[in-house]
């Protein structure tokens, strides 16, 4: 794992996210819920913008991918077929002294767990670590009025299975021909044992997954390469620095037994976290559809009419976490810098304008001479097209800082000249340049620069 040369900004981000309403700890007034987070007013906009970009690129801008929204609760047999009941486990060790639990492969553990020389990374005691045991990561609950083993259902640990079981429903209702894909965005739940690092690893999170169905007799590896390239390009388009992104090929040990090839897209989160997976691109062969055929007893074959052939397609999967990518965006965007000619520095989130929660701040320079009224009129007009924030309190420099810190790309100031000739100044978050623009053109000026 390459060591990161980028600074660790996580602590500063956690504090900024709480102070400015991006992310709050779940049930905070009760002391919080372990590794579950709530998105506040700005966070929900950021994540929504991110999901919209994914949906646009993967579904709306293409004619070979269909979207769905499958239920979180599925038939329990689904998870037997998928292999999650038997295999969705992490080997864990417990410390008998401090009662903490660790992944068996935690690099901080010295020695072999279960032997007297093994040392607990938390309390430092020797010989207190248990042998590794398997731990199922799926959340269980009960369906219906009776809580017995017959009514056990699971909260889905990934969204993909909702796509597999609907493969023929979607194909037949849309008359898609292989190769084609199915995409969905939705919540997934994993009872992670060593969660942490803010929203990097949580117990409830959102995935954006797409399964692309291809003919096993076609050049399917070419599709795998195509999706690898497409997905990396998408991350570049979000404004993530290319030098902070790379592919990590799964080694023979990491590769699932049925997988033909797998690459992770990793992002450098800085500090000790360093490069970590944000998306997986997997060639899954016909494993999933074949297993569902076997467990459900229903055929999941595609009928290739021109060639009068039936086959179970291969699947190329792209699976990206919305929360983890939102965190990557924040880490990538965070910077502290000097401002030329000013004694006070500033904190900036250099988010891509299309992802920024607020697109423009609107400020009356002073609270008199018709400026507040004009600012309100402009804000109301712009609000029909994108989110704006009207701020009339404090020195203008302070108001700029408040918007810089949440990534607002443009700030519009209504000054003395504005009430005379109808123009306003628009300041660019990154260049700090100001331009004077006539009131009626402000909306178009910003829309053009938000891009997509
Ligand atoms: P990891 O090895 O980090 O646990 P994984 O290989 O299990 O991840 P996948 O099952 O391939 O992850 O899930 C695809 C994507 O879903 C990941 O790249 C990540 O962005 C996201 N994801 C998975 N687990 C979590 C989690 N607990 N919290 C937040 N995001 C997650």
Chain centroid to Cα 196, Å, comes to 15
Regarding the beta carbon of 280 and ligand 1, being less than 6 Å apart is answered yes
- Ligand 1 centroid, distance to 365 Cα (angstroms): 47
Regarding the beta carbon of 324 and ligand 1, being less than 6 Å apart is answered yes
Is residue 288 within a helix (H) or strand (E), and if so which, with residue range?
helix 287-296
Residue nearest to atom 25 of ligand 1 (CA): 201
Contact partners, residue 66, CB within 8 Å, separation at least 6: 59, 170, 174, 176, 180, 181, 182, 183
The SS3 call for residue 452 is coil
Regarding the beta carbon of 204 and ligand 1, being less than 6 Å apart is answered no
Side-chain half-sphere exposure of 271, counting CA atoms within 13 A: 10
Residue nearest to atom 19 of ligand 1 (CA): 321
Regarding the beta carbon of 207 and ligand 1, being less than 6 Å apart is answered yes
Which residue has tokens 């037949």?
172
Contact partners, residue 450, CB within 8 Å, separation at least 6: 353, 354, 359, 386, 409
Give the number of other Cβ atoms within 10 Å of residue 57's Cβ: 19
- Ligand 1 centroid, distance to 323 Cα (angstroms): 10
- Ligand 1 centroid, distance to 186 Cα (angstroms): 13
Are the CB atoms for 430 and 350 separated by under 8 Å?
yes
Is residue 283 within a helix (H) or strand (E), and if so which, with residue range?
strand 275-285
Regarding the beta carbon of 323 and ligand 1, being less than 6 Å apart is answered yes
Regarding the beta carbon of 278 and ligand 1, being less than 6 Å apart is answered yes
Please identify, by atom number, the ligand 1 atom nearest to the C-alpha of residue 207.
16
Q: What is the pLDDT along the chain (452 residues), one digit of tens a residue?
A: 556 889 999 999 999 999 999 999 999 999 998 899 999 999 999 999 999 999 999 999 999 999 999 999 999 999 999 999 988 777 889 898 888 888 888 888 989 899 999 999 999 999 999 988 888 889 999 999 999 888 999 999 999 999 999 999 999 999 999 999 999 999 999 998 776 799 999 999 999 999 999 999 999 999 999 999 999 999 999 999 999 999 999 988 788 888 889 999 999 999 989 999 999 999 999 999 999 999 999 999 999 999 999 999 999 999 999 999 999 999 999 999 998 887 889 999 999 999 999 999 999 999 999 999 999 999 999 999 999 999 999 999 999 999 999 999 999 999 999 999 999 999 999 999 999 999 999 999 999 999 86
Residue nearest to atom 28 of ligand 1 (CA): 201
Regarding the beta carbon of 320 and ligand 1, being less than 6 Å apart is answered yes
Which residue has tokens 């800082």?
401
- Ligand 1 centroid, distance to 321 Cα (angstroms): 6
* Neighbour-count burial of 1, counting CB atoms closer than 10 A to its CB (0-12 exposed, 13-18 middle, 19+ buried): exposed
Residue nearest to atom 1 of ligand 1 (CA): 277
């Amino acid at each position: 794992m390459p060591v990161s040369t980028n600074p660790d900004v996580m602590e500063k981000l956690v504090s900024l996210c709480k102070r400015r309403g991006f992310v709050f700890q779940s049930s905070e007034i009760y002391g919080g819920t372990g590794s579950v987070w709530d998105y506040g007013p700005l966070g929900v906009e950021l994540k929504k913008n991110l999901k919209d970009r994914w949906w646009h690129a993967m579904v709306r801008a293409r004619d070979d991918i269909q979207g769905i929204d499958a239920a979180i609760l599925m038939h329990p047999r689904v998870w037997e077929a998928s292999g999650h009941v038997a295999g969705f486990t992490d080997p864990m060790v417990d410390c008998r002294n401090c009662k903490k639990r660790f992944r068996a492969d935690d690099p901080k553990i010295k020695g072999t767990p279960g032997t007297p020389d093994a040392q607990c990374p938390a309390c430092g005691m020797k010989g207190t670590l248990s042998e590794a045991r398997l731990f199922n990561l799926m959340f269980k609950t009960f369906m219906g009025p009776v809580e017995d083993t017959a009514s056990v259902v699971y909260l889905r640990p990934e969204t993909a299975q909702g796509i597999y079981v609907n493969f023929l429903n979607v194909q037949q209702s849309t008359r898609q021909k292989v190769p084609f894909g199915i995409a969905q965005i939705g919540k997934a739940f994993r009872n992670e044992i060593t969660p942490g690092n803010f929203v990097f690893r949580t117990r409830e999170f959102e995935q954006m997954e797409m399964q692309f169905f291809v003919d096993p007799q076609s050049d399917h590896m070419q599709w795998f390469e195509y999706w690898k390239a497409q997905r990396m390009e998408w991350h570049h388009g979000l404004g993530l620095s290319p030098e902070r992104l790379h592919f990590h090929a799964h080694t023979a040990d990491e590769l699932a037994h049925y997988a033909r090839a797998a690459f992770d897209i990793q992002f450098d989160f800085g500090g000790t976290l360093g490069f970590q997976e944000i998306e997986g691109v997997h060639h899954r062969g016909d494993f999933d559809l074949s297993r569902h055929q076997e467990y459900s007893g229903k055929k999941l074959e595609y009928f290739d009419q021109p060639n009068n052939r039936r086959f179970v397609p291969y699947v190329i999967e792209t699976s990206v976490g919305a929360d983890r990518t939102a965190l990557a965006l924040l880490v990538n965007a965070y910077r502290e810098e000097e401002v030329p000619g000013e004694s006070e520095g500033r904190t900036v989130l250099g988010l891509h304008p299309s992802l920024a929660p607020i697109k423009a701040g609107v400020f009356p320079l002073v609270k008199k001479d018709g400026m507040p009224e004009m600012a309100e009129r402009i804000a109301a007009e712009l609000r029909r097209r994108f989110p704006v924030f009207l701020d009339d309190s404090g020195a203008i420099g302070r108001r700029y800082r408040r918007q810089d810190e949440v990534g607002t790309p443009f700030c519009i100031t209504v000054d003395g000249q504005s009430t005379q000739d109808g123009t306003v100044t628009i300041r660019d978050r990154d260049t700090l340049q100001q331009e004077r623009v006539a009131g009626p053109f402000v909306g178009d000026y910003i829309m053009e620069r938000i891009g997509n």
